[in-house]
Structure 1
Amino acid sequence: MSVSKILVLKRSLSTSRLMSAAIKNVTVIGGGLMGSGIAQVAAQTGHQVTLYEINQEALKKAKQGIMVSLQRVAKKTHKEQPEKAEMFVHETLDRLKTTLDLEASVKEADLVVEAIVENIEAKHKLFSSLDTIAPEHTIFASNTSSLSIGEIASVTKRKDRFGGLHFFNPVPVMKLLEVSINYLPPLFNHVLVLNLLDVSTNYLPPLFEPVLVMKLPEVIRIPETSDETYKKMMDWGQALGKTTITCKDTPGFVVNRLLVPNLAEAVRMLERGDATARDIDTAMKLGAGHPMGPFELADYVGNDTTKFILDGWHKRFPDNPLFRPIPLLTKLVEEGKLGLKTGEGFYKYNKK
């Protein structure tokens, strides 16, 4: 074999290895509850992480939250070994850096996970910018819980390197990751979701924004998503210690697509006078084995969040009766009775 052919072969093999390399450098856009949780878990599991926010105050709050959460995790996993606990926190923080510079945040990224406000215009603006500054090999993913991955990806020129990674809140505890796609091969036609909620814990996480307690993230794949991108996202989710499931780019993916209509129907039952909120909650806890009743969960998540998701789905699918507006829910939100966070929703709470 000639020297030139050997050099071409080596270059080809090198390129192949580069394309198939595992995700090592991760950028998280948005340092809120979800973004900071994703950044923490990625850093905990050995990834180099950059967390981007738009102002210093947001970054400071995110870093404080991560520190508190890390110390809690370290205390739990290294109960009798304070030196190991301290090392765990130190090493994790060493792998996590923060920045206000969007371009600098993605210059070495293998994966960018977006976790900003649930607004399609804001996401379009962000990904339009990222598409021009991120390396060609970088995979883009959105952590949206209610918007279409295909619609979010529409403004980019890398739809083959775009997908959905839906984590659950709090990220460090919740072990589910939803990977969403538009085409499901026969293997994925029937999906059993196991260990969605670790009911052995005393902490019950929020429904729509969970990452640390939930064991399962959803991976969402659009038709253009390449097999290589899909595999990398699935492998990365597993590297984080999550249980990954695959689903179509459908409203709410798997978890929220089932849970939001469930909450909505419970509110409609109350609205019709079929039963009281307390009796409906009791029925679902004792009769269906749910850790929380639908009204307890709705108040915990925030009635504005439930309404926001239903309104978005109703706008896109006006003929679907499951998504139609609910007057009682609208009334509560207009009155500022959003649930636990405001002291009153379907129930009243004593503010501390």
Structure 2
Amino acid sequence: MPSAPVVVGVIGGGRMGAGIAQSFAAAGSTVTVAEGNASAAAAARDRIGAGLQRAAERGKLIEPMERILSRVTTVESVEALPATADLVVEAVPEDTALKARLLSAAERAVGVRTVLATNTSSLSVSELASALVHPGRFVGMHFFNPVPASELVEIVVGSQTLPTTVRAALEWTHSLGKKDVVVRDSPGFASSRLGVALGLEAIRMVEEQVAEPEAIDDAMRLGYKHPMGPLRLTDLVGLDVRLAIAEHLHATLGERFAPPRLLREKVARGELGRKSGQGFYPWP
């Protein structure tokens, strides 16, 4: 198996960022997670610890969780990321301006050989690269939720991404025991474009009272062997996240990605899925 990067930075310690940090730390990397303040940094470390605890209970760790967690440090600004980082992965919400600002700050903080990556699920890698001085060492590494258990990383090649950067991203993906798909930068890439199309149509079917959410999900799970249905998956991803991606794809690819009225209404009511306790399903 290829070697994991020795030193990794992760920008953002939410569910995705914490999962990315946990995965690299479990593979032997020293990981620094950058958050915006002390409470957010502490919460990120707690998420990583909880994730490691779950992995330990399932027998998925090859080292004691305490040893893995000892390789994780949290800091309160991007500027505090280690200059020696081999890789920095940005994993903040789907906001182009926010991502570009943090990636630019990270580029100034790290060394000239550091690879920068974005975990975006839909935004243009080439557009984000325009905020960087060295866009050739920037690539999309789209991880999937939950990161430690997922098998896939979607490698997104921007218009200026260098072949050496792509090779490094592939090697690090394989070092985590994950498989890759390599796609050219385009709206929604491959995974989000297809996944959101299915999810939006499932939401329209609920809106039109074609069937209950469970029936729609069972049709795809039992009939097409999907591991879970599109509505339960929407709850896990977050309805607000799905809405943001749909709005981006609607703006770039046209009316077939127009968000359903029901999706907008649920987000407005705060029914965001598992993280809020209610989406298309209740989550106690």
TM-score, normalization by structure 2? 0.90
Q: How big is the shift at 1:305?
A: 2.1
Partner of 2:81: 105
Aligned-partner Cα distance in 1 for 2:149–2:125 = 24
Instruction: Select 2:270's aligned residue among 309, 312, 336.
Output: 336
Contact conserved, 2:14 with 2:44, CA < 8 A, in 1? yes
Residues 189-200 of structure 1: pairs in structure 2 closer than 5 A: none
Contact conserved, 2:13 with 2:44, CA < 8 A, in 1? yes
SS at match of 2:227: coil
Residues 66-77 of structure 1: pairs in structure 2 closer than 5 A: 66-77=48-59
Instruction: Select 2:66's aligned residue among 90, 112, 118.
Output: 90
Kindly name which structure, 1 or 2, has the bigger radius of gyration based on alpha carbons: 1
Q: How big is the shift at 1:227?
A: 1.2
TM-score, normalization by structure 1? 0.73
Q: How big is the shift at 1:72?
A: 2.8
Matched, 1:143 2:119: yes
Partner of 1:3: none
Matched, 1:270 2:246: no
Residues 54-203 of structure 1: pairs in structure 2 closer than 5 A: 54-77=36-59, 88-170=64-146
Matched, 1:246 2:182: yes
Partner of 2:225: 289
Q: How big is the shift at 1:298?
A: 2.5
Matched, 1:304 2:240: yes
The 3 A distance-change label for structure 1 pair 250 and 74 is same
Q: How big is the shift at 1:168?
A: 1.1
SS at match of 2:179: coil
Aligned-partner Cα distance in 1 for 2:79–2:249 = 33
Cα root mean square deviation, aligned: 2.3
Aligned-partner Cα distance in 2 for 1:104–1:305 = 28
Partner of 1:50: 32
Q: How big is the shift at 1:27?
A: 0.9
Partner of 1:217: 153
Aligned-partner Cα distance in 2 for 1:335–1:249 = 34
SS at match of 2:270: coil
The 3 A distance-change label for structure 1 pair 132 and 239 is same
Partner of 1:197: none
The 3 A distance-change label for structure 1 pair 117 and 279 is closer
Q: How big is the shift at 1:302?
A: 2.8
Contact conserved, 2:118 with 2:140, CA < 8 A, in 1? yes
Aligned-partner Cα distance in 1 for 2:16–2:223 = 32
SS at match of 1:118: coil
Partner of 1:11: none
Count of equivalent residues: 282
Aligned-partner Cα distance in 2 for 1:285–1:256 = 19
In the alignment, structure 1 segments of 5+ residues that lack a partner are: 1-20, 79-83, 171-210
SS at match of 1:34: helix
Aligned-partner Cα distance in 1 for 2:80–2:274 = 39
The 3 A distance-change label for structure 1 pair 97 and 117 is same
**2:268 alignment partner AA:** E
Aligned-partner Cα distance in 2 for 1:276–1:238 = 39
Aligned-partner Cα distance in 2 for 1:135–1:213 = 31
The 3 A distance-change label for structure 1 pair 276 and 75 is closer
Q: How big is the shift at 1:101?
A: 4.3
Identity of aligned residues (%): 40
